Structure 1
């Protein structure tokens, strides 16, 4: 890769890192929010879901307009909105204002992710795109290894506002990085239909069987990935015997593993093809999913091996999956498609969590029951994702 490409990927990964930490930090701070604002667990859950639901709606709306603008301009506007929303979260004096600020932040933060992926796809040719995706997507791992623990420390040492102030300040500085380091990206504006009616963007996705297949692929893959994630920590505590302190090892070690392996999955995808690497990673993910959801009371080391293997292969398969998704649409429609895909992804997260919540029960002894059934569902969806991935076609000029 050239020096300019590396600089661009670094800036994009930084933006991605900040909005991921902003989304994730809410959950471990739940007890503070409930105590400070005197709200119930149900009201706290609205703070979490407001971000995702707003991102879902914003993704659908932005799909109609996003490809009509230079990628750099879109990144600047969205990052400024994300910055303002995060800073308002930090100074919110009431629960209602915090809820509104989270929804506002989600509208910009969720759409940022789609534009970042579209930008990578516009700049990096398909034969090197998986490697680039691997580098940008390591921001997820770094967020879990460094970002979230740092945010928890700041909240415990100062107040719950501290993480949002730091994220907002860093996002403000990132605005200048976008202005000076990101070049004007207008190639997609020269394509046929780039200035079509906004509603046509949605219509193009609906009428294109290849794009619909990619959206179905996203939904199925997330059901095979995220359905087991919400209950990994509770299961390890109630069924395997982890302490509250030891739970942090799962995410720290898993994040380190994915930081190292995600770029490797990208390089392998570029060399052997994303479909082949996706199928291979998904095959090994089946064993990891089965091990985690059926794990008895074992040693800490053995349990961490099981969880880390899942983080490695299940997260690693997302790199070739993302590469395949970006190749089903031409550049002039990519931003719109990625916005719709981002909305489907947000909806899939909520659906996967909802389904697993209906399946898992709490036993009289305090342990969790039926978690293996969630694993079997995830395994079935993972196998189906392999089948559907074979139906994705690379369009000319992708």
Structure 2
């Protein structure tokens, strides 16, 4: 099960499906709101800590509980996504998490806020596992890295908007109310998306159904999938913790703009948006170009990007100049976001079409279970024991190891997936 049936008998590239642009646009906007809702809490964290009197370890749980629920529910979302209309899962998931985001603003205790964040994870699991499989059935393989990169530009932009909303809108409760509105609108619009036939862009043989146990056994032997997932997991561990704690670090330990802490969220958010947008678009373009030269070329580029990002992350917390610090952060984020399109394209291309949603759900489980489900709390614990500077400094190590894993994954991908014509 190392390759799709279509990969064994490559077909002539075809044009995107009808209404593909509408579906991609809606799914991308939903992904933007997805990350906006995730990162409002990171920017509003200092105010939340004051209101509920919680320490750094407890604060890290706000990130961890969401991720734990999200990752555990994602394989179920993927399983359902291979067997029922996916647009219904998308629409229902978006509406659920948007209502839970609004409920976060109503929380009157730390426990109530934790519960609301957990429900957001359930809603996002219904969407995150199936959206890439919908896109892969709307666009031919020769365009997938590019269109998936477009889909994933929502990550830096949505994260940046989350930082800005969490910083600027006071009191912090109101930021969650504002964040809930676009999701309710987009969830309704998702009901009107096209529902493409599974494997429609991978040739006639790709539409054959695959028994679940047969697919699961094949996935267990798919070394390209697992190496890619390992690299993705290491990267997610690092950037998940960094994204949650960096605004607090810049104010508390670097003492940047103490008289106006909201400025930190704005600057960090702007850098995340600009560097992430540029990196994601560049990664999509370069990934398609390198994939045309050799299978796994885009995945190899992702590995190189992480290897170069690691020293930039280390320098970001060891340079005294604020300008140089933000420059190092920008370069690191550009290099990390290069991989958004290539990694996810590699995952959907190296598994059978009838098993893509579950494979994406399983990937989500691992990258979060061993990644950002534990990193916010672990960083908070290290910060309580030593310092937040030390905790963030150590974050460069998983990025370095992730780059090595992706380069191994690129080699395995070339061996497993015959070259597309």
TM bracket (short chain): 0.7 to 0.9
Task: Provide the residue aligned with 2:233 in structure 1.
Answer: 219
Identify if the C-alpha distance between structure 1 residues 297 and 345 changes in structure 2 by more than 3 Å, giving closer, same or farther: closer
Distance in 2 of aligned mates of 1:378 and 1:40:
27
Q: Which moved more, 1:350-359 or 1:102-111?
A: 350-359
Residue 247 of structure 1 is matched in structure 2 by: 264
Q: Does the CA-based 8 Å contact 1:133-1:266 persist in structure 2?
A: yes
Residue aligning to 1:167: 179
The whole-number CA distance in structure 2 between the counterparts of 1:12 and 1:146 is 17
Question: 2: distance between equivalents of 1:231 and 1:390?
Answer: 34
Using the size of structure 2 for normalisation, the TM-score is 0.79
Structure 2 counterpart SS, 1:391: helix
Q: Which structure is higher in RCO with an 8 Å CA cutoff and minimum separation 6?
A: 2
Structure 1 residues 233 and 283, CA gap change in structure 2 (3 angstroms) = farther
**In structure 2, which of residues 26, 35, 46 is the aligned counterpart of residue 31 of structure 1?**
46
Distance between the aligned counterparts of 1:51 and 1:128, measured in 2? Answer: 33
Asked if residue 55 in structure 1 is aligned to residue 73 in structure 2, the reply is no
Q: What's the offset of the Cα at 1:68?
A: 0.6
Greater mean deviation of Cα atoms: 120-129 or 284-293: 284-293
Q: 1:46 to 1:380 in 2, by over 3 A?
A: closer
Query: Corresponding residue for 2:389?
Result: 368
**Cα displacement (A) at 1:174:** 0.8
Secondary structure of the residue aligned to 2:367 is: helix
1:382 and 1:353, CA in 2 relative to 1: closer, same or farther beyond 3 A?
farther
The aligned counterpart of 1:192 is 208
**Structure 2, unpaired ranges of 5+:** 1-14, 201-205
Matches within 5 A, 1:313-324: 313-324=335-346
Contact kept in structure 2, 1:215 and 1:341, CA below 8 Å: yes
State the Cα distance separating 1:234 from its structure 2 match. 6.2
Aligned pair partner of 1:378 in 399, 417, 421: 399
Q: Deviations over 1:84-121 (max 9, x none)?
A: 32233333444433322221221111341221112112
How far apart, in 1, do the equivalents of 2:382 and 2:90 lie? 40
Within the candidate set 359, 370, 373, 1:350 is matched to 373
Structure 1 unaligned spans of 5+: none
Which of these residues, 309, 330, 336, is aligned with residue 352 of structure 2?
Answer: 330
Say if 2:132 is the partner of 1:117: yes
Q: Structure 1, residues 220-272: CA drift from partner, whole Å, max 9, x if none? A: 44356556656655665677664454633233123212223422321221122
Higher mean Cα deviation, 343-352 or 226-235? 226-235
Corresponding residue SS for 1:68: coil
Change over 3 Å in CA distance of 1:228–1:54 after alignment to 2:
closer
Match of 2:314 in 1: 293
For residues 377 and 66 of structure 1, do their structure 2 counterparts lie closer, same or farther at Cα, with a shift above 3 Å needed?
Answer: closer
Aligned twin of 1:275: 296
Q: Which moved more, 1:30-39 or 1:68-77?
A: 30-39
Q: Is the 8 A contact 1:127 1:270 kept in 2?
A: yes
CA–CA separation in structure 1 for the residues paired with 2:80 and 2:405: 33
Inter-partner Cα distance in structure 2 for 1:98 and 1:271: 45
Is this contact kept in 2: 1:240–1:297, CA < 8 A?
no
Q: CA deviation at 1:162?
A: 2.0
Q: Bigger shift: 318-327 or 376-385?
A: 376-385
CA shift for structure 1 position 350: 2.9
Instruction: For residues 350-385 of structure 1, give each alpha carbon's deviation from its aligned partner in whole angstroms, at most 9, with x where no partner exists.
Output: 34556666777977xx78348655434532332232
Match of 2:284 in 1: 266
C-alpha separation between the residues in 2 aligned to 1:281 and 1:212?
A: 16
* Farther off after superposition, 110-119 or 309-318: 110-119
SS at match of 2:153: helix
CA RMSD of aligned residues (A): 3.4
Change (3 A) 1:229 1:290: farther
Q: Rate the CA distance shift 1:64–1:370 in 2: closer, same or farther, 3 A.
A: closer
Contact 2:228 2:343 in 1 (8 A): no
